[in-house]
Amino acid sequence: MPGFWGFIGIVALVVVFALLWMIGAYNSLVSLRNRFRTAFSQIDVQLKRRHDLIPNLIETAKGYLAHEKGTLEAVTEARNKAVSAMQATSNPASASAMAGLAAAESQLSGSLGRLFAVAEAYPDLKANQNMLALQQELASTENQIASARQMFNASVMSYNTTIESFPTNLVANAMGFAPAQLFELETEKERQAPQVSF
């Protein structure tokens, strides 16, 4: 009966190898998922920084833009929607949460662009040191958001590719790993950072 035990030994080795591979694939998927979640937390930090700058920007502009109350209110409303959307995005793998966040941030960028366009007509505001400092801080934050978004999207792409590739997709499907959503802005116009220089 040495042939029987040899066959059992081969089957046992195949099972052990398969289990070790499944464990490795699972751990790899967990690592990739954690990587894109960490990358999203960097976006979250930069968006919070952006949202915190906007009230200061509005306060600085208020005195100069007394006749532009609608523009200031639009920026405030867009900021509040963006803050709410950011708070609702506890799961960056959720397509609806990411779409809501992208739409809110796009609206905020558009309203900031209108504010800066209106502010062009006010020379005293353009020369205000607080306004200049806030613009520089906002421009720096916009660059950091773009960088963090790029890192997040690259992490999501690696994760999604892994969960869709054979044979890792077998483990991903069995263990409930869902595809993650990229953080993309809606239109080409919205992809441009708001103009913050006077």
pLDDT of residue 196: 56
**Whole-number average pLDDT of the chain:** 87
**CA separation for the pair 41, 5 (Å, rounded):** 54
pTM: 0.80
> Region 112-125: what's the mean pLDDT?
85
Residue 173 pLDDT? 94
146-151 own/partner pairs: CB under 8 Å, 24+ apart: 146/193, 148/39, 148/42, 148/43, 148/45, 148/46, 149/43, 149/183, 151/39, 151/42
In this predicted model, what pLDDT tens digit does every residue of 53-103 receive, in sequence order?
999 888 888 878 877 888 889 999 999 999 999 888 877 777 888 888 999
Is the separation of the CB atoms in 155 and 36 below 8 Å?
yes
Predicted local distance difference test score (pLDDT) of residue 190 = 46
Does residue 104 surpass a pLDDT of 50?
yes
**Which domains, and CATH codes, for the chain?**
2-191 (1.20.1440.20)
Q: 195: which 2 tokens?
A: 């103009």
Percent of the residues in the chain that have a pLDDT greater than 90, as a whole number = 54
pLDDT of res. 165: 95
The DSSP letter of residue 94 is -
Q: CA 53, CA 51: separation in Å to the nearest integer?
A: 5
In the block, which residue shows the tokens 């116009």? 189
Is residue 142 pLDDT above 70, yes or no? yes
100-110: average pLDDT:
91
Residue 140, judged by CB atoms within 10 A of its CB (0-12, 13-18, 19+), counts as middle
* Residue 67: DSSP 8-state: G
What is the four-CA torsion angle of 93, 95, 98, 103, rounded to 10 degrees? 170
Chain mean position to CA 35: 13
Tens digits of residue pLDDT in 146-187 = 999 999 999 999 999 999 999 999 999 999 999 999 988 765
Q: What per-residue confidence (pLDDT) applies to 2? A: 64
pLDDT at 194 over 60: no
Q: C-alpha angle 184/44/84, rounded to 5°?
A: 85
Banded model confidence at residue 126, pLDDT cuts 50, 70, 90: confident
- Closest by CA position to 60, among listed 1, 125, 127, 4: 125
